[in-house]
Copies of this chain bind each other. A is one copy, B any other.
Amino acid sequence: MLSDHDRQNKQMKQKYNPDVLNPSPGQTVTMKHVAKEAGVSLGTVSRVVNKHPSVKPHLREQVERAIAKTGWQPNAVAQSMRTSSTKVIGCVLPDTSNPLFGSIAKGAEAMVRKNGYAFLLANSSYDTEHEIELLTFMFQRRVDGLLFAPSDETNPRMIQAIESARMPTVLMEREFPASCDRVVSNQADGLRQAAEHLISLGHRRIALITLQPNILPGRERRRGFEEALTSAGIPIDPILLRPDNLSAGYAYQQMQELMSLEDPPTAIIMGGNMMLAGAIRALNLTNKRVPEDVSIIAVGDTDLAELGSPPITTVRWDLEGLGAEAASILLERIKAKSDPKTAGVKHIVRPTEIVLRKSCAPVKIKSS
């Protein structure tokens, strides 16, 4: 029974409607108002809005005038309710203030928006429990799909959560044993290039500070690194491997430890984009010069790497493109209503490249 409501409406219209630009505050305009204003039925309004071909031109025009006059805007919530499609893509990332994730998010958001979807973003702060909450949060909001980079692929609760999350999802820079689309960059190859470059400069004691193996880039970076060394016939010294964390603080501390070894590395690869800052702090402290005393390569390109002194050789890849491609694949899945479990999983691997700068030098002959 909308009678009171309607009556009030009518009054308002009589009183204020001339001033359409200023729909009185608090009064929400619905399709019904438009229909009344245009002298047609709800269905007709809906049809012109959704560009259904079979509407007589003069009615269409009447409706359009009514829309303009009332200032009506479709209510996306009601549309979602009716169509059971929200046209929103959720995105759960560890930390968008890390420029790496920030850029991925930006690329994804742009693609998502371009296709008329909304972009619901949430940071998990590298916390699996929080991520699980966010997954149900996204599900309750009935996002049409999910872009996701979990913080720990091996956590059984995480695996369980993603299995039972009934939303199309594509992983970014991550993988799950379960069939799930993903787009990742080729970190193994990047690290291989980095290590080979150092090896070609004569280095044999090369250290790697990198992230833990519970996420794909952690494993792949180490794998590429070890493969390069092995191919060159260089034995892998476990003491030079520091694969535990992606923070600047960790790099700072490991850097100091490495440099105070009896037989320190002559080159170090920082396998994480936040690590360079920590490394530089440690180097400044110990008065080691780059590249005279130690050669450095950073994974993940930044202003600091490009413009610091010396400029740092890095491994880089297209972050925004990665986010955009992940979004594309998700959007396709949604459009085609195809399920990876039946239609085949998509695994995209995107290239990485090495950017040579001035932080690497030929190894010095040891005076022994």
Spell out A's residues near B (CB within 8 Å): 2, 21, 23, 25, 28, 71, 73-78, 80-81, 83-84, 86, 88, 95-97, 99, 102-103, 105-106, 109-110, 113, 118-123, 136-137, 139-142, 164, 166, 276-277, 280-281, 284, 302-304, 306-309, 320
Contact = CB atoms under 8 A, between A and B. Distances in A.
Given A83-B2, A277-B307, A303-B277, A122 B123 contact: no
A311 to B, nearest CB: 9
Contacts of A96: 96, 102, 105-106, 109
Nearest to A80: B77
A190 B42 CA distance: 57
11 contacts: A23-B166, A75-B140, A77-B86, A96-B96, A118-B120, A120-B120, A276-B303, A277-B306, A284-B307, A307-B308, A308-B309
Closest 9 CB pairs of A and B: A97-B106, A76-B141, A102-B102, A303-B304, A309-B309, A121-B121, A76-B140, A280-B307, A77-B80
**How many monomers of this protein are in the complex?**
2
A87 to B, nearest CB: 9
A44 to B, nearest CB: 18
Contacts of A140: 73-76
Contacts of A120: 88, 118-121
A103 B102 CA distance: 10
A88 B118 CA distance: 12
Given A74-B140, A277-B303, A304-B308, 11 more contacts: A25-B166, A73-B136, A73-B140, A77-B80, A77-B81, A78-B81, A97-B99, A109-B121, A277-B307, A302-B303, A304-B307
Contacts of A118: 120, 122, 137, 141
B97 A123 contact: no
B136 A109 contact: no
A55 B200 CA distance: 74
Contacts of A164: 21, 71
Contact of A320 (B73, B97, B119): B97
Contact of A121 (B25, B84, B119): B119
A236 to B, nearest CB: 30
Contacts of A142: 75-77
Nearest to A248: B303
Nearest to A91: B121
Given A77-B80, A102-B96, A123 B109 contact: yes
A136 B139 CA distance: 25
Contacts of A110: 123
A281 B308 contact: no
Contact of A281 (B88, B113, B281, B307): B307
